Amino acid sequence: MRRWYSNRLVFLLVSLFFCIGLMLVSQAGVLAPIESLVATPLNVVAGLFTDVALSVSGGINDLATLQRLRERNADLEETLAQFQSEIVELREIASDYQRLAELLDYTTAVTNQDFVTADVIGSDTSAQRRTIIINRGARDGITEGMPVVTGQGLAGRIINVSANAARVLLITDRQSYVSGRLQSTRVEGTVQGQLSGNLRMSLISLGQTITVGDLVVTSGLGGNFPPNLTLGIVTSVYQREAELYQEADITSLINFDTLEFVLVMTSFQPVDFSIFQSETEN
């Protein structure tokens, strides 16, 4: 009986040591080529399931929203008529801006970017992480660090690349940090992902004014993302006593649960600061 328990304890310890060892080796990046190879068939199957699931959920959503869309359509037609006159004015302003920008030879980093369109073929299997897998990889020119966007703004950045797939760390992941600024007041801060799926902007100076509804965009500080990509809208502001900074909750305009397509900014290269760090150390 005693020997029986002893055998089990040894078996438990051996199993746990194996898993911990595997985890440490994987964390060091030694297994990356093997992981990429083995994950390929799993990605293919997961991609097939994603297509089917998207079709089913899309069909369900279509039925549910049909009636709502009819009512919205009537409202929107009325609103459209009002906006027509505003569009004329805005076109005039845009034209003025274009001329001034040309005069100042002003170009933002976001213009002249090349994009690769990718399908989302899987999501992270861990509830603790917020990543997606896309069907474009090194063969399509994807490299680590490239920003990933949608029509609604910044979605994340590439963190792992295999030959024909890549993993995107979404901005809603807790390990995602993006330098952001409020579009209206140019107030800057750091935007971090939350488990709730929202974002939190922190390190905002106390004297700055933040208003609910303000649009938050990337600032470009740190060189990891181009400036002026939409991050979300401020939904609440926290200003606690005895704190050196204030914080704001931000909701992204992207519905990350139903992402189907994303754009990878292939022409943007993150700035490598490592050379400055090594010079400082020396």
Restricted to residues 132-171, the positions that interact with other proteins (CB under 8 A) are 133, 159-160, 167, 169
Q: Which amino acid is at 135?
A: N
Smallest distance, other proteins to C-beta of residue 169, A: 7
Nearest in space to 212 (alpha carbons), one of 203, 196, 197, 201: 201
Find the binder of other proteins among 11, 83, 97, 261 (CB under 8 A): 11
Using CB under 8 A as the binding rule, whether residue 261 contacts other proteins is answered as no
Under rule CB under 8 A, which residues in 20-79 are in contact with other proteins?
Answer: 20-24, 26-27, 31, 35, 38-39, 41-43, 45-50, 52-54, 56-57
Question: Are 103 and 247 a contacting pair, CB within 8 Å?
Answer: no
Inter-residue contact 234 to 212 (CB < 8 Å) = yes
Give dist(CA 231, CA 198) in Å, integer: 11
* Residue range at the interface with other proteins (CB under 8 A); choices 102-110, 119-127, 139-147, 182-190: 119-127
- List 117, 196, 239, 277, residue binding other proteins (CB under 8 A): 196
Residue with structure tokens 């409202």?
75
Instruction: Please name which of 168, 135, 183, 140 lies closest in space to residue 256, comparing C-alpha atoms.
Output: 168
**Three-point CA angle 19, 24, 29, nearest 5°:** 125
Catalog residues that contact other proteins under the rule CB under 8 A: 4, 7-8, 11-12, 15-16, 18-24, 26-27, 31, 35, 38-39, 41-43, 45-50, 52-54, 56-57, 121-129, 131, 133, 159-160, 167, 169, 173-175, 192, 194-197, 257-258
